[in-house]
Chain A
Amino acid sequence: MILSFTDDYSFGLLIGFVCILIAFFAMMKETDDLHRLLLTDVIEIIALVIIALIGTDLAEALILPGLVVGIAEILALAEIYIEKEGLVKTPENFLKIEIMDTAPGILSAIMLIYGVILSGFTGGAVAGLGLLFYFLCRGSQKKTQILETISGYAWVCWVVAFIVFMTIPQYWFFAVMLAGTGIFAKVAAKMTIVGTMRGNRDV
């Protein structure tokens, strides 16, 4: 391929490589860990620019998981940094108001039922929010085990649905329903995990 630097893609790629050189040079010279963490974000942006230069739907489809991986990476590195430098601080008291003792049962039951009716991704989000609220208010000793079980069953639903799609496509409706149930359970379980992050012993 001959790079002419007159069309968008080649020119953008040239600028992108110059940026990469600058960013990695700065990264190489840097010794402070937190500065390095900030520079990781710069490198992520440059990588996204290079993907965006493709300029098609494919680029868009690649940028979205790139963003998710980027935020996950920043979160993980930030936590590791805090742990490494010993900057962990435990909050003195958790939020404690009366409504958190009375409301969770009925409210999460309503949201769970409505979520099951909605089904799929949206239903999973609604039901997960209800469960999140429940776990947030009631604490979560020994209850996290069941979330892992649900998550496992959701994977099984997905895999079975995929195999049905591939091998016996005439039963596609069954596979769609199975996949819908799977994503419902998966999203709900994942959102519930957020509710268990209240500094209990088992989390």
Chain B
Amino acid sequence: MTPEFLLGLGILIIGVIAAAFPDPKTYLNRLINLEISGFGLLLVMLSYNETLALLTFIAVTAITTFVLVRVLERRAIN
């Protein structure tokens, strides 16, 4: 077990708990907590040398954030 693998799993479980039960239960808070578990996944991919998957995940996360922030923004205005 490499250090980044253990760290990745640790961050993953922390991130999932943080995203599942955010303390002030707002949309934005949950969206930010999502990134923590994303980092866990990135570290797990890093420990297995899955370069292509890692880079694609970074790109897709950016797009996902755009999409979700757009929905949140629409919701906040109305």
Contact = CB atoms under 8 A, between A and B. Distances in A.
Interface in B2-41: 5, 9, 12-13, 15-17, 19-21, 25, 27, 30-31, 34, 37-38, 40-41
Given A19-B12, A22-B20, A74 B5 contact: no
Contact of B44 (A41, A52, A85): A52
A12 B9 contact: yes
A67 B62 CA distance: 12
A26 interface: yes
B74 A52 contact: no
Contacts of A74: 64, 67-68
B28 to A, nearest CB: 10
Given A63-B50, A82-B71, A52 B5 contact: no
Given A38-B19, A42-B19, A70-B60, A60 B74 contact: no
Interface residues of A, number: 41
B27 A38 contact: yes
Contacts of A46: 12, 16, 37
Contacts of B71: 34, 37, 78, 81-82, 87
A64 B44 CA distance: 15
Interface string A89-113: 1000000000000000000000000
Closest CB pairs A-B (n = 4): A26-B20, A55-B48, A63-B53, A87-B74
Interface of B: 1, 5, 9, 12-13, 15-17, 19-21, 25, 27, 30-31, 34, 37-38, 40-41, 44-45, 48, 50, 52-53, 56-57, 60, 63-64, 67-68, 70-72, 74-75, 77-78
Interface of A: 8, 11-12, 15, 18-19, 22-23, 25-26, 34-35, 37-39, 41-42, 45-46, 48-49, 52-53, 55, 59-60, 63-64, 67-68, 70-71, 74-75, 78, 81-82, 85-87, 89
Given A39-B19, A45-B15, A55-B48, 20 more contacts: A11-B9, A19-B12, A19-B13, A23-B16, A25-B20, A26-B19, A34-B71, A38-B19, A39-B20, A41-B64, A45-B38, A45-B41, A49-B41, A52-B45, A52-B50, A67-B56, A67-B60, A74-B64, A78-B67, A78-B68
